[in-house]
């Protein structure tokens, strides 16, 4: 699966890693709902770090369709809220 991190580029990630990412996504959703900015920032950083660590970056000139789009590391609570769907940022 291809994941785009806004402002950074795309990463190819095996779908088998979605379970681990969904745990972080669930934490992020709870922190968004409570408005806990410090916890939100830590979890967003952990989620993006996990994608970077588990995935393989695509070349900068590759323009593959992204199946998931994740916020930039410096995204605000409101910006991330606007990106949410019923499952959070990551389906499942």
pLDDT at 13: 96
The predicted model gives 16-24 an average pLDDT of: 93
Structure tokens of 80? 């991330």
pLDDT of residue 90: 87
SS3 44: helix
**Lowest mean pLDDT segment, chosen from 8-17, 25-34, 45-54, 57-66:** 57-66
Which pLDDT does position 44 carry in this prediction?
97
Q: Is residue 12 scored above 90 in pLDDT?
A: yes
For the entire predicted model, the pTM comes to 0.92
- List, for residues 47-73, the tens digit of each pLDDT value: 999 999 999 999 988 888 999 999 999
Torsion sign (Cα): 52, 57, 62, 68: negative
- Percent of the chain predicted with pLDDT > 70: 100
């Amino acid at each position: 699966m291809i994941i785009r991190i806004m402002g950074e580029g795309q990463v190819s990630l095996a779908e088998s890693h979605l379970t681990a990412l969904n745990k972080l996504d669930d934490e992020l959703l709870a922190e968004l709902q409570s408005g806990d900015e410090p916890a939100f920032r830590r979890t967003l950083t952990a989620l993006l770090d996990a994608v970077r660590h588990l995935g393989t970056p695509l070349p900068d000139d590759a323009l593959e369709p992204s199946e998931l789009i994740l916020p930039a590391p410096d995204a605000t609570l409101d910006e991330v809220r606007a990106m949410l769907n019923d499952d959070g940022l990551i389906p499942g």
